[in-house]
Amino acid sequence: MHTTMRLTRRGRLLVFGMPALALLTAFVVGMFFLAGALVNQAQASSAEVPGVNAEEVQVGAGDTLWDMASEVDSDQEVRELISQIAELNGLESSELEPGQTLFVPVED
């Protein structure tokens, strides 16, 4: 004997609704990450200060502001250079993300 199985309303919701909800959630989370990346990129690009010579440097894994400031060929103290880098890039904290682009002051 062959019987067919029918899903109840709750069963249809579980089978079709939950995967759709998961996809929607993944899409929204992805959009937030994309928006965050675009905002960070816009902040770095708009941080150029007229009259200041700076070069773009990409942050590597494990890089710190101290490391970046130490590599600058300058007579200034490392702490002063860190302050300049933070100001040039509108940084509110010292946390850096690999792949992030920063403007670093250079001597003439």
C-alpha pair distances (Å), 75 with each of 52, 72, 101? 16, 9, 24
Structural domain harbouring 37: 10-105
101 domain-assigned: yes
The answer to whether residue 33 sits within a structural domain is: yes
- Average pLDDT over the chain reads 84
User: Hey, what long-range contacts does 86-92 have (CB within 8 A, 24 or more apart)?
Assistant: 87/49, 88/47, 88/48, 88/49, 88/52, 88/54, 89/43, 89/44, 89/47, 90/43, 90/44, 90/46, 90/47, 91/65
pLDDT digits (tens, 9 = 90+) for 24-43: 999 999 988 888 777 665 55
CB 105 within 8 A of CB 54: yes
Is 45 contained in some domain? Answer: yes
Q: Name the H helices within 1-108.
A: 9-12, 18-45, 65-70, 78-89
For residues 25 and 79, what is the distance between their CA atoms, to the nearest angstrom?
Answer: 43
37 in a domain, yes or no? yes
Does residue 5 belong to any structural domain of this protein?
Answer: no
Q: Is residue 51 part of a domain?
A: yes
What is the tally of structural domains in the chain? 1
Q: What is the pLDDT of residues 46-79, one digit of tens each?
A: 445 566 788 888 999 999 999 989 988 888 899 9
